[in-house]
Chains A and B, each alone.
Chain A
Amino acid sequence: MNSSVITFPGSNCDRDMDVALKKFGFKNKMVWHDDIELPKSDLVVLPGGFSYGDYLRCGSMASKSKIMKSVLNFAKGGGKIMGICNGFQILVESGLLPGILLRNRYLEFICKNIFVKVNDKNNPYFNNIKKDTLELHIAHNEGSYFCSKEQLKEINDNNQVALLYSDKEGNVNDASNPNGSIKNIAGIFNKEKNILGMMPHPERMIDNMLSGEDGSIFFENLINNLK
């Protein structure tokens, strides 16, 4: 499986993602934002970080990078694209996913382990995953997902909600919502479900010496699904 991780100026989880993808068997290439062509890929990842310093709006300038033209074309052809954290912000700014990410409700950066309920398994990312809740890690300042009522209805009607912040048992409630996201949304798909955006970082959960190992489950499952 070939993957590509795009490095924007200010990306800082690009190496972590590279390490994770390779650990689970992807042949990964790092792609510079100023490049024009994407290498042949089965998966394109927009990593976390602070592309362009998060200036203007998180992800907005990166969404206008040269490489994004190829990414948009890749998306149109049904290519799998995953945006993590800042990558999720870039995906909504580029119009590939609906909605927007606002500042966390207490206006503070949050770095901690959280649980998410896997809301939909009928997609290439979570198909066959055994667990119903995953322990992942968040590290963001602007992770509060928001969209209009109409968009929310459409997202729900199309089963586009990928992950919901929950407790360990999978209960979705306000106490388990770390950042004030509408309906506890932690990650969404596009209509066709080839594109996934999510705030939690699976790449930081791939080693029992680190924060945990549910990220390993995610990546193992992902590469098997893509094969």
Chain B
Amino acid sequence: MIVNEQIALDHGLKKDEYKKICNLLKRTPNITELGIFSAMWNEHCSYKSSKFHLKNLPTKGKNVIQGPGENAGVIDIGDDDAIVFKIESHNHPSFIEPYQGAATGVGGIMRDIFTMGARPIANLNSIHFGSPQHKKTKNLLRGVVRGIGGYGNCMGVPTIAGQTSFDESYNGNILVNAMTLGLVKKNKIFYSKATGLGKPVIYVGSKTGRDGIHGASMASAVFDEKIEEKKPTVQVGDPFTEKLLLEACLELMAGDSIIAIQDMGAAGLTSSSIEMASKGNLGIEINLSKVPCREPKMTPYEIMLSESQERMLIVLENGKEDMAKKIFDKWNLDFAVIGKTNKSKKIELYFNEEKVANIPINILVENSPMYDRKWKKTKLPKKIKIKKEQFKNLKIIDVLNKILSNPNICSKEWIWQQYDHTVMGDTIQKPGGDAGVVRIHGADKAVAASVDSSAVYCWAHPLSGGKQIVCESWRNLISVGAKPIAITNCLNFGSPENEENMGEFVECVEGLGEASLYLEFPVVSGNVSFYNQTKDIGIKPTPSIGGVGLIKNCKNMVTMDLKETNNTLLVIGKTEGHLDQSIFARDILNEKNGPPPEINLFNEKNNGETVLKLINKKFIRSAHDISLGGIIIALSKMCIKGKKGAILKKPNHLINQFEYLFGEDQGRYILEIDNNNLKDVTEILEENSVHFDELGSVSDNYLTIDDKTKISIDDLVKSHTNWLTNYMEN
């Protein structure tokens, strides 16, 4: 096939990009080469619309061992231990084929983690669906949950936390973001930089098939009515093979024969081989006839672009091939020496003795397109004025029940019960709390992780929204007693070619950068997913933030369930009753305008650090951050979890009761304190200039809001737990 402009356009390249390729090569590429360019230069692999802005994110810190640019980020957690972690999107494939899309998303992120030598110890996910009434939602949700469980459960890695939301903006584009944490010794981290000439390049894992060809290109385009035709671009996962691959790789990694290793993820063999050579400033030659193939007569083009799962590329020390092969034979996995490194600084591919591609690597990598796309700023919306009569006919109990059973607030137990969250025997905080916590095997310390997003805030004002999510992640970690260390981000947006969507991206990134810099909570890894869009309609901007923190002594971990009657409840942080963009305003008042709550980074940091101090002094019996739904939803969840009641005090300052209970002001926590410690606690809060109010006290059986308003905990439980199960089973 002779390549021309039309064929390049069909590969998702733009006219000027094709021209650039011909100019750089000083000739027309052949079809294999064109395929390689299209795989490397699509949005998913090249970050061409985002890298201009991503470079401003804070990525360094005293605990950061490896920031963005490797398979995953790495942080130091003391005692020669390090945590490798990253979040990644698998949105487009999950919409087309929910089970396999979600499953391979989980498989892909775990591979990124063990590629670096770390054993995965925890999975998390952030999944977003269309309106519950939309005809596709139920099946997509069921398929995604089964896919995530099907892969993670089989791998024997616990899924410890997650987030699920529903919003009509995801009707045509669901989001599936998967995150994994792995544990590694600091001196046994593996990287993808190839060094040395004439080193054997090894292919291990599954055979290469025709699945997933152009997966990364598909994920770099807007959906239209023909999306069902894209099903063959979705990869098919085999968690059993991945489990074998994990064990085999870790066994090989215990020795010192690996120079560089890279998993074959998006754009398969193409991207893995080019990345290793590019980082080492080397050339690489591969004999494609030696690649283990699942199907006969696969062409070089197909072999290079296949996204078959569970494959790895390794650059090995000379003479170690036999030893390595033995390990992969033991685990029944394919092993093939398919090429070697050289000094050409080119990627040179051979097939049946014939040279089928010959491209200088710098053309593919350094000369890849980068766009400073046009973008539009979002003005801070004006505050809405809620009239008194809008509150008049509302009964607090009704509102509380309605919000507790809101799809975005209600218990997600139906989902996480399908994930094995206890395998590996170190899960000390299960899903359903502020963050999941796993103990470091055999040690007294633990890591906490949570994943958060708030698309509504980001949509209303991306700059504030971006800041808010980082703060929420920080608070969730603090609430379990963990010191926040670093974050990973998965940036899900519409088309970057649309100025408004691009503006949302730019300002969300600015916001999250600002917050992470201030909180010393750097970004160590991440991924960008654009084109979450069907025709002209894009999703609400949805950056997902995965935060990781350290609990030095497991015994200091805190949970959110109320513990003991008569204990005092404090609200940390100032309550001003911000209702705009709250779930109360949107769901009860049907008011969708106004600004999201304001973020005060000084208070956020000061409040969080002080709460952590109190936790480490063992003064806190239970803690929960106040987020969606305000004080009363946070408190209700603490009651539900602890099967305890609470009696609220009348607030000291004049504030409308709905604003007080349902306002979503930021930087706040509810803390349960033993009365004997109350004096010490208030002294520390005052010393640190932390604003606090007395909320009330713990009681039995009932949540008592005022003289006239009382609800039993059993009723709260029903409101909170029934919605999702009823929805899925009817």
Contacts and interface: CB of A to CB of B under 8 A. Distances in A.
B641 to A, nearest CB: 15
Contacts of A15: 424-425
Given A50-B154, A108-B418, A209-B554, A9 B425 contact: no
Interface centre among B149, B156, B416, B421 (most CB of A within 10 A): B156
A34 to B, nearest CB: 8
B418 A50 contact: no
Contact of B240 (A10, A201, A206): A10
Interface residues of A, number: 33
A111 B332 contact: no
B424 A139 contact: no
A175 B331 CA distance: 42
Contacts of A19: 425
B425 A111 contact: no
A122 to B, nearest CB: 30
B110 to A, nearest CB: 13
Contacts of B244: 9-10
Given A10-B154, A110-B417, A139-B153, A210 B240 contact: no
B420 interface: yes
Contact of B422 (A10, A53, A55, A139): A139
Contact of B418 (A52, A54, A109): A109
B549 to A, nearest CB: 17
A203 B425 contact: yes
B422 A210 contact: yes
B156 A111 contact: no
B128 to A, nearest CB: 21
A204 interface: yes
Interface in B136-163: 146, 149-150, 153-156
Interface in A178-216: 201, 203-204, 206-207, 209-211
A112 interface: yes
Contacts of B418: 108-111
Interface in A101-155: 106, 108-112, 137, 139, 141
Given A53-B154, A210-B425, A12 B243 contact: yes
A169 interface: no
B427 interface: yes
B310 to A, nearest CB: 11
Interface residues of B, number: 33
B480 to A, nearest CB: 13
Interface string B198-234: 0000000000000000000000000000000000000
B238 interface: yes
Contact of A210 (B146, B241, B417, B428): B428
**B-side binding surface: helix, strand, loop or mixed?**
mixed
A16 interface: yes
A204 B425 contact: yes
Nearest to A107: B146
A180 to B, nearest CB: 15
Contacts of A110: 417-418
A49 interface: yes
A13 interface: yes
A201 to B, nearest CB: 8
Nearest to B446: A209
5 nearest CB pairs, A to B? A12-B156, A53-B240, A16-B425, A50-B154, A209-B428
B44 interface: no
Interface in A20-76: 20, 34, 48-50, 52-55
Given A50-B153, A111-B417, 8 more contacts: A16-B425, A19-B425, A53-B238, A108-B146, A110-B418, A111-B421, A204-B423, A209-B428
Interface in B234-279: 238-241, 243-244
A17 B153 CA distance: 17
12 contacts: A9-B244, A10-B240, A12-B155, A13-B156, A13-B423, A48-B423, A55-B240, A108-B417, A109-B150, A109-B420, A111-B417, A209-B439
A85 to B, nearest CB: 10
B554 A9 contact: no
B95 interface: no
Contacts of B419: 109, 111
A11 to B, nearest CB: 8
B425 A109 contact: no
A139 B729 CA distance: 21
Given A50-B154, A53-B240, A109 B149 contact: yes
B482 to A, nearest CB: 15
A49 B150 CA distance: 12
Interface in B421-441: 421-428, 430, 439
A199 to B, nearest CB: 13
A55 B150 CA distance: 13
A112 B419 CA distance: 10
A15 B119 CA distance: 13
A20 B423 CA distance: 13
B331 A9 contact: yes
B427 to A, nearest CB: 7
A112 B432 CA distance: 13
A220 B82 CA distance: 34
A111 B243 contact: no
A109 B421 CA distance: 12
Contact of B417 (A49, A55, A112): A112
A10 B243 contact: yes
B265 to A, nearest CB: 21
B423 A139 contact: yes
Contacts of B423: 12-13, 16, 48, 139, 204
A201 B238 CA distance: 25
Contacts of A10: 154, 240, 243-244
Contacts of B154: 10, 12, 50, 53-54
